[in-house]
Structure 1
Amino acid sequence: MSIFSDNLRYLRESRNESQQKTAEALDIKRGRYEPYESGKVEPPYEMLVRLSRFYGISIDLLLTVDLRKYDIEDMLRLADNRIVLPIAVDQHGENLIEVVPHKARLGYASGYADPEFIESLQTLSLPFLRNGKFRAFPASGDSMPPHRDSSYIIGKHLENLGDVSDGKTYILVTKNDGIVYKRLSRNANSSFTASSDNIVYAPYVVEYREILEVWEFVCSIETEAFAPDDVDVETVRGMFQELRKEIRGLRG
């Protein structure tokens, strides 16, 4: 059985309802509902939306997170009664930002939905980052100057891919590539074109179905000072280009 089918069974049983009663509430026959719960059939898009609204839980959580590991009553409820993952806070109620270290980078794609994995990460708090869920990811390679391997890129979690804006930078967590940091442009066929600011790296297509998480870039933290040899013309140019883009984004 998949996480999704396990979640359906768990949510139904937590209400002490039969498959017949749940199917009637969804305005479908039990024979149509049962294969969704047993994992024999994947529901179409319109049924996913119906199930999400029925249980008040986002489609992303239904498909990717084992809800048996959480106390649903403690989860954050959005204005439309949808549920998202809990936000960790300190003793003063400040939002804590989990920091994904370099050594955990490769394992993040498989552990991102495991509460024990997330709880094992160290945290930090930045007072100017509020009203959202933030996480810090390690930069890797030279594909997105001026960020270097010694940088941590902080992103704001987006629940819906529809909130992605063309031309902005995002941290993607994908099934095949793990954590990547790219500039995204939306395509017409349920995919994005992911581009690097370093022209050495060719753009490529990322299908929506490959994406596990998307985090909008908000800021970065440099953990090492620039050495004189590191500061060349192209590095400085890239830094100013990124700064101009960020300023335009703030004005917009």
Structure 2
Amino acid sequence: MSLFSDNIRFLRIQKNISQEKLATALLIARARYVKYESGTSEAPYDILKRISKFYHVSIDLLLNVDLRKIDMDGLLQLEDNRILLPITIDAGGENTIEIIPQKAKAGYLNGYSDPEFIEGLQQISLPFLKNGKFRAFPVSGDSMPPHRDGSFIIGRYVESLGEVRDGRTYILLTKNEGIVYKRLNKNGRNSLVLSSDNSFYEPYSVRASEVLEIWEYACSIATNEFEPDSLEPQSIRDMFNSLRNEIKALKHLQ
């Protein structure tokens, strides 16, 4: 028996539906479905899609996660049955805010869709954050002042690119870079322009197909007391811009 066959058997029993009725709903013969549940035959992609839509569970979870070990009610269903986002809830049924610590930042790219990974994260609750799913991400580097290393950005989950508003800041999970926090602008239908508030860093583009998650800025948590710099921010930016121009000029002379 495979993990997939265990999962579809578990889901069918949970739904209290017979193999015959389920096969009819999937538009296949019962004998064909029985082979998938027994693990003697692998389901093709079109059948995987039908099973995914029937149970409102993503194909990724059906194939890679033991659904018997997780709380199915703790998964957030998105529109059009596109995916199930693993979340955690408190004893009162309210969504909690999972915290991605710095040490788990790299692992989030592999664990973002794994309910067991999400369940193992620490959680907090902020009563003023309502109407959405929120998660806290660590800040790295100096590209998005005044946020510094050790701070956390709390983002609200964005379900579609159509919700992205030009000029606002977002946390993105991308296939190549992992977690990044940038100011976004839509560059046509298939790409996004990511800009830093520190002008020393050049904007760059990512394809929409590379984006796995988008979280809109909701609030931030500073873990260190703010210490003003000895130089004014504008003077620092001017210094870096001047240095950058000098470097570019030297490259042209080579």
TM-score (norm 2): 0.67
Spell out, residue by residue over 1:130-172, the C-alpha distance to the aligned partner (whole angstroms, 9 max, x if none): 2222111111112222211131100012233333223321111
Structure 1 residues without counterparts, runs of 5 or longer: 238-252
C-alpha distance in 2, partners of 1:224/1:169? 22
Structure 2 CA distance for partners of 1:179 and 1:4, relative to 1, 3 Å? farther
Distance 1:99 1:162, change over 3 A: same
- Measured in 2, the distance between the counterparts of 1:102 and 1:131 equals 27
Deviation at 1:196, TM superposition (A): 2.0
Structure 2 matches for 1:99-110, cutoff 5 A?
99-110=99-110
Matches within 5 A, 1:18-167: 18=19, 22=22, 24-27=24-27, 42-43=45-46, 48=49, 53-57=53-57, 67-73=67-73, 75-76=75-76, 84-89=85-90, 91=91, 95-167=95-167
RMSD: 4.2
Structure 1 distance, partners of 2:7, 2:186, is: 31
Indicate if the aligned counterparts of 1:196 and 1:203 stay in contact, CA closer than 8 A.
Answer: no
User: Using the alignment, how far apart are the partners of 2:235 and 2:138 within structure 1?
Assistant: 19
**Once the 2 structures are TM-superposed, how far is the Cα of residue 126 of structure 1 from its aligned partner?**
1.5
* Amino acid of the structure 1 residue aligned with 2:169: T
Change in Cα spacing, 1:215 to 1:17, as seen in structure 2 (3 Å) is farther
Q: What is the match of residue 207 of structure 1?
A: 208
Partners of 1:14 and 1:159 lie apart in 2 by: 28
> Which has the higher Rg, Structure 1 or Structure 2?
2
Note closer, same or farther for the CA distance 1:102–1:73 as it changes in structure 2 (3 Å cut).
closer
Instruction: Report the CA distance shift for 1:25/1:175 in structure 2 as closer, same or farther (over 3 A).
Output: same
- 1:218 corresponds in structure 2 to 218
- Alignment match, 1:232: 232
Tell me by how many angstroms 1:186 deviates.
Answer: 2.7
SS at match of 1:229: coil
Cα 1:230–1:88 shift into 2, 3 Å? farther
| Structure 1: distance between partners of 2:66 and 2:98 | 20
CA distances 1:9-57 after superposition (whole Å, capped 9, x unpaired) = 7645755654x86564245789x9999x97775459xx95x66543234
Find the aligned partners of 2:168 and 2:4 in 1 and give their Cα distance.
31
The reply to whether residue 176 of structure 1 matches residue 203 of structure 2 is: no
Identical counterparts, % of pairs:
54
Indicate the larger mover: 119-128 or 184-193: 184-193
The 1:17/1:125 distance shift into structure 2, 3 A limit, reads same
Q: Deviations over 1:58-92 (max 9, x none)?
A: 68866986645423245456799996534322x56
